[in-house]
Amino acid sequence: MFLQLLVGMLRTIPGIHLAAVAQGVREAVQTCRALPVDLLVLDLALPDGDGLEVLRDVARRRPDVDCIVLSSGAAAFACPQSLFRHMRGIIDKTQTYERLAAVIGDVLRRRNAANADHQPCAVDARTLLRPRELEVFQLIGQGLKTSEIGRRMGISNNTVETHRKNLASKLNASGAELVRLATISIQTSLPRGDGR
């Protein structure tokens, strides 16, 4: 039932051509080998194995493939570093279809921009994070320390550190690399013409 609802929703998104639907790892791998798939909407827990096996197989042949994880296990998901560059969003099944449509729309816009600039499509970390994680991520990008983030958000330093650990796990980056990603995210979200 969920799959039927998802298929119906995907067919309403402009710019998306639904190539195929698969209900397991083996079927998905065979289908993706037969078709020029460039975007996967992938569950992690499939009846015959780990959904990431599909992405691994496709990525070997299609280095530019994009993936959106849509799974009931999304909250605990930590993307393997080898697959991070393909990941465009991590969405829990309890979230609205509008959230999935927004992430897909973002993928399409970045692809169009990348094609216009002849640049590879970069990972947008903002699509991988929950709202509170995104808030912490943005404050890190502004150069705030743990205690400053805690005061700004009205949460304890321990809670900030927990968010930092979750960010490090989801983005496969910690320390200086996490700060660098957060800073880049802030810079790319500024309107053009902003003097900062």
Burial 32-59 (b: 16+ CB within 10 A, else e): beeeebebbbbbbebeeeebbbbbebbb
Quick one: 84 exposed, middle or buried, by C-beta within 10 A (0-12, 13-18, 19+)? middle
Q: What is the DSSP string of 60-126?
A: HH-TT-EEEEEETTGGG----GGGGGGEEEEEETTS-HHHHHHHHHHHHHHHHHHHHHT-PPPP-GG
Reported as a single tens digit per residue, the pLDDT across 115-134 is 655 444 445 666 678 888 88
Do residues 111 and 30 share a domain?
Answer: yes
Question: Which residues neighbour 173 within 8 Å (Cβ) at sequence distance 6 or greater?
Answer: 167, 180, 181
Give me the CATH number covering residue 184: 1.10.10.10
Do residues 108 and 55 share a domain?
Answer: yes
Element containing residue 41 per DSSP (H, E): strand 39-42
Domain-located, residue 196: no
Do residues 97 and 166 share a domain?
Answer: no
Q: 103 lies in which domain range?
A: 2-125
Do residues 57 and 107 share a domain?
Answer: yes
Mean pLDDT of the region 51-71? 92
Q: How is residue 5 written in tokens?
A: 């609802």
Per the structure, the count of domains in the chain is 2
pLDDT at 114: 65
Place 24 in a pLDDT band, splitting at 50, 70 and 90: very high
Instruction: Please tell me the pTM assigned to this model.
Output: 0.61
Rounded mean pLDDT of the chain? 81
Do residues 94 and 153 share a domain?
Answer: no
